[in-house]
Amino acid sequence: MKESSIEKKVLAANERLRVAQERLDAAILTNDGSWPHAEAMKEISERLREARVCNDQVQQHIEASAEVVPSGRDCPACGTSIRAQATLCGYCWTRLSPSL
């Protein structure tokens, strides 16, 4: 499905951001004062964290919209679950209106 492929990309992006932030945070923690850009690195770490929050929100949006999109309905004649766009029930062969 299209949504799940987008979701996988979001998860993959989040994983890379997580690794990047962990390495950056580790470098900040081991800084003995000889690293002049520590403050700038903390700023970058914070931006990485924000990007991960954005990704989480995108993922939640994908999950929420996946629930809203109707993937199927029940045949009015026999009650079998069929596609929303189906014009014919595959079980009892009742003709159906696809716009239902």
Among 78, 83, 84, 87, binds Zn ion (CB under 5 A): 78
Pick from 45, 49, 51, 47: which is nearest to 26 by CA? 45
The residue whose two tokens read 């800084």 is: 31
Whole-number minimum distance, CB 70 to Zn ion, in Å? Answer: 17
* Residue 89 in contact with Zn ion, rule: CB under 5 A: yes
Piece in contact with Zn ion (CB under 5 A), picked from 4-12, 42-50, 62-70, 86-94: 86-94
Q: What helix, strand, coil percent values describe the chain, rounded to 5?
A: 60, 10, 35
Q: Site residues for Zn ion, window 29-48 (CB under 5 A)?
A: none
- The first and second tokens of residue 25, run together, are 């945070």
Contact by Cβ (8 Å): 77, 21: no
By CB under 5 A, is residue 88 in contact with Zn ion?
no
Task: Choose, by CB under 5 A, the member of 71, 87, 91, 98 that binds Zn ion.
Answer: 91
User: What does the binding site for Zn ion look like in residue numbers (CB under 5 A)?
Assistant: 75, 77-78, 80, 89, 91-92, 94
